[in-house]
Amino acid sequence: MPVIDELFAKLRVSGRKAFMPFITAGDPDLEFTHQLLRELDILGCTLLELGIPYSDPIADGPVIQASYTRALKRQIALSDILDMTSQVTSEIKAPLVTMVSYAIVYRFGLERYVAAAKQAGVVGAIIPDLLIEEAGPMAEICRREDFSLIQLVTPTTPRDRAVRIAESSSGFLYYVSVTGITGERQQLPSGLVDEVSWLREQTDLPICIGFGISQPEHVRMLAPVADGLIVGSALVRRVAEAQEKDRAAVMGNICELASELLNAM
């Protein structure tokens, strides 16, 4: 059984939900990323999502775009990220997935990417710009290799298309909570719970909600309907402070917010 399938099966038996923090690989450097992943694992985070920096991300807001830019300015390569990942995955309990552009995967080679990621201890990939019409080859490789292919459904996705996306996905389905790009929100859409409830009736895949989640109130609102929650911009914004402030203090602030959100589930 793929690692993520096994994880969510255990969570369902115990009645628990997954909490997944997102951070950018190499921001401010790979040493910090390595240490932060370890700290988030110690906190008890269920899954860890690592963003692979890309110059033209399709759905990321200004906070995550800026983190990608900072990492790319350091000329961090995919091979460097996978080397770091291979070290950290041997030290943590939480499974790790990458958020990666299909342009990177395609250029690297589909089978080669999956093989390299697996060798580095990665158990799945979230590919936000992989169109359902082009997902077949990647989905087949991932099924064969027990590597989860996690795809996104948005509030504007037509319902028939959402079902097709769910059918080609594995591990879990990533539900985008808001129309637009990533970023912290004060309020989430009023119809979000109903939309996720409908989607749950269409698929047996776990559904994790991301985009805009930044407060314990958001977690308490969504945890009853979701199998997991994903938090990115609120954490990445704090990572940016590592450029100028004491890194230990910055890491403490990041872990404090992650702990607050984790405890709200």
Cα 187 from Cα 194, distance rounded (Å): 16
> Looking at the DSSP assignment, which residues form a beta bridge with residue 50?
23, 98
Active site (annotated) includes residue 129: no
Instruction: Quote the tokens at residue 39.
Output: 């700290």
Given 5, 27, 41, 60, the catalytic residue:
60
CATH class label, 3-263: alpha beta
Q: Identify residue 13 by its one-letter amino acid code.
A: V
Tell me how far apart the terminal alpha carbons of the chain are, to the nearest angstrom: 26
Active site (annotated) includes residue 49: yes
Confirm if 247 and 32 have CB atoms less than 8 A apart. yes
Query: In the prediction, which pLDDT does 7 show?
Result: 97
Give me the phi and psi of 103, to 5 degrees please.
-60, -40
Given 49, 184, 195, 227, the catalytic residue:
49
Q: Nearest Cα to 137, choosing from 173, 100, 105, 172?
A: 105
The model scores a pTM over 0.75:
yes
Band the pLDDT of 33: cuts 50, 70, 90. Answer: very high
Query: Which residue blocks in 15-109 are alpha helix, DSSP H?
Result: 30-43, 62-73, 78-88, 102-108
Gyration radius of the chain's alpha carbons: 17
CB count in 10 Å sphere of residue 167:
14
Give the pLDDT confidence of 101-120 residue by residue, as tens digits.
999 999 999 999 999 999 99
3-state secondary structure of 126: strand
Give the pLDDT confidence of 156-199 residue by residue, as tens digits.
899 999 999 999 999 999 998 765 444 344 444 457 778 888 99
